[in-house]
Amino acid sequence: MSNPPNQANILFALHRSSTRPKPVGVPRAQVGAGTVRDLVVLAGASASDPDAVLDQPNAHDLLCPRPGCGSIIIKAQTAGLRRVPRTTVVLEPRTNTHAHLAPLPEADEANVEVWRITPNEMAFENIGLTHDVPSPGAGTDGPARKLLACAECDLGPLGWHVVGTSEFWLVADRVGYRVAA
């Protein structure tokens, strides 16, 4: 028969769990050969087709990119890779990027690779959502967005969610990748 929980046992259990090694994520450029094909599971997809990676599931757990955090945001094979126009990815002013977050491309005509997560926020292991923020350029008539951040250390924005939809988006360059050794 086990002892009933008391404050000392609870504190011991909390301390013990905080001393476990945290997963370490590597930046996207350091995954395999640094190509987008190293990020996805190419099950049944043609390796010669440049768009074969689209909608393929993530091959690795996606982690918070902050050194020392390592919080798992999405488990492997949960999200699908997409390319979206840079103009649809508005997370912060172009001159205001956190040191641990990759900057977005400068050119509006560039595409950004993102992970699409559906059907709701329960697909995440760990994610924080902001209050509604207006979509830039849409005034008060456009759909509101919520920005996504690490729920453990609050680093963000890592991506976004348009309120009223079932899609969540993480910028592929703004997360770490847990690569098996």
Tell me which DSSP letter residue 32 carries.
T
Q: Does the pLDDT value for residue 176 go beyond 90?
A: yes
Mean pLDDT of 149-174: 95
For 9-56, how does the pLDDT look when each residue is reduced to its tens digit (9 = 90+)? 887 877 776 666 788 889 998 998 878 888 998 776 555 666 777 889
Which pLDDT score is estimated for 49? 67
Q: Where are the alpha helices (DSSP H) in the chain?
A: 7-18
Which pLDDT score is estimated for 154? 96
For 85-142, how does the pLDDT look when each residue is reduced to its tens digit (9 = 90+)? 988 887 876 666 788 898 888 887 889 999 999 999 999 999 999 999 876 655 556 7
Which pLDDT score is estimated for 118? 95
For 59-90, how does the pLDDT look when each residue is reduced to its tens digit (9 = 90+)? 999 999 999 999 999 999 999 999 999 888 87
Which of 151 and 96 is assigned the larger pLDDT? 151
Task: Give the span between the Cα atoms of 13 and 27, in whole angstroms.
Answer: 32
Which pLDDT score is estimated for 14? 72
Query: In sequence order, which residues have a C-beta less than 8 Å from that of residue 39 and are 6 or more positions away?
Result: 28, 31, 53, 58, 59, 60, 81, 172, 177
Which of 148, 102, 100, 99 lies closest to 126 in space, CA to CA? 148
Q: Does the pLDDT value for residue 150 go beyond 90?
A: yes
Which domains does the chain carry?
23-178 (2.170.150.10)
